[in-house]
């Protein structure tokens, strides 16, 4: 079961700065959705266990944290360890519509998710937000976050983030957003090098409906295009 006018799962895909978090936030404000944010989940896992040598997850958490800081892909085995149970249990809730900010960064991850969706016959869509590298750099290096917001929604300016902060709270920057080499890794090695294969996996499964957007457009224009796509298909 899914909400009227929505599939059971909505996935966003695109390079850093393409607007996945912003569009997720807009959809969540309009509909009752359950998020599974990949980046936030990985960072929370690393923060919880990487400084605790007594934890059985200590080595994995440090590996995840190091890869995040370098802008490199999380190992598929680590992705599945951190997210698998949450994805499965959330999707199996008949009253939940799930929204994720990735359909799998690497082909093996995308194949696992696609196979699961097909096996369970879960109606789903993939929204691919596309921007060139220059736009990605400009957006990523200028974004801020609200420390008290666990969703880690990026804001395009200090002023915008400050307006969402609690009293006496200050917007923050992420360390990996300030490193051009990390952004290059995330754009070219993680996104662009795998994009064609990831998209092909979903195109070929016979179940996923796909929308591709030139995300250089204004945020509201992209959002209206997404709403139109959902109305026309669900």
In a domain, 92, yes or no: yes
Three-class SS state of 125: strand
Residue 166 class from Cβ within 10 Å (0-12 exposed, 13-18 middle, 19+ buried)? exposed
Residue 158 and residue 146 in contact, taking contact as beta carbons nearer than 8 Å: no
Residue 18 and residue 131 in contact, taking contact as beta carbons nearer than 8 Å: yes
Residue 45 structural domain = 16-226
- Predicted confidence (pLDDT) at residue 108 exceeds the cutoff of 60: yes
Mean pLDDT of all residues belonging to the chain: 90
Chain position carrying tokens 């662009």: 192
- Predicted confidence (pLDDT) at residue 1 exceeds the cutoff of 50: no
In a domain, 3, yes or no: no
In a domain, 182, yes or no: yes
Q: Which pLDDT score, from 0 to 100, does residue 3 have? A: 56
User: What does the alpha-carbon distance between residue 16 and residue 38 come to, in Å, rounded to a whole number?
Assistant: 13
8-49 tens-digit pLDDT:
999 999 999 999 988 998 999 999 899 887 877 888 899 999
Strands 9-13 and 98-100: parallel
Number of compact structural domains in the chain: 1
DSSP state for residue 186 in the 8-state scheme: I
In a domain, 9, yes or no: no
Query: CATH no. for residue 136?
Result: 3.40.50.300
In a domain, 4, yes or no: no
Percent of the residues in the chain that have a pLDDT greater than 90, as a whole number: 56
In a domain, 11, yes or no: no
In a domain, 103, yes or no: yes
Q: Which pLDDT score, from 0 to 100, does residue 4 have? A: 58
Q: Which tokens belong to 144?
A: 């801020």
Q: Which residue has the higher pLDDT, 186 or 134?
A: 134
Predicted confidence band of residue 70 (pLDDT cuts 50, 70, 90): confident
115-167 tens-digit pLDDT:
989 998 999 999 999 999 999 999 998 888 898 887 777 888 888 889 999 99
Q: Mean per-residue pLDDT for 101-114?
A: 90
- Predicted confidence (pLDDT) at residue 105 exceeds the cutoff of 90: no
In a domain, 29, yes or no: yes
Q: Mean per-residue pLDDT for 187-212?
A: 96
What is the radius of gyration, based on Cα positions, of the chain? 17
């Amino acid at each position: 079961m899914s909400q009227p006018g929505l599939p059971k799962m909505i996935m966003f895909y695109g390079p850093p700065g393409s607007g996945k978090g912003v569009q997720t936030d807009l959809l969540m404000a309009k509909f009752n959705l359950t998020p599974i944010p990949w980046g936030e989940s990985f960072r929370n896992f690393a923060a919880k266990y990487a400084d605790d040598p007594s934890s059985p997850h200590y080595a994995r958490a440090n590996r995840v944290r190091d890869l995040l800081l370098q802008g490199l892909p999380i190992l598929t085995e680590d992705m599945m360890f951190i997210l698998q149970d949450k994805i499965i249990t959330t999707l199996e809730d008949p009253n939940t519509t799930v929204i994720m900010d990735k359909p799998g960064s690497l082909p093996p991850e995308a194949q696992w998710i696609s196979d699961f969706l097909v096996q369970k016959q879960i109606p789903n869509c993939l929204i691919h937000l596309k921007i060139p590298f220059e736009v990605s750099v400009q957006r990523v290096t200028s974004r801020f976050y609200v420390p008290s917001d666990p969703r880690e929604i990026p804001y395009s300016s200090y002023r915008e983030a400050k307006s969402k902060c609690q009293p006496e709270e200050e917007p923050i920057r992420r360390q990996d957003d300030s490193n051009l080499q990390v952004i290059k890794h995330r754009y070219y090695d993680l996104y662009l090098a795998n994009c064609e294969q990831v998209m092909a996996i979903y195109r070929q499964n016979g179940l996923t409906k796909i929308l591709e957007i030139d995300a250089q457009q204004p945020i509201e224009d992209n959002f209206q295009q997404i709403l139109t796509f959902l109305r026309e298909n669900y």
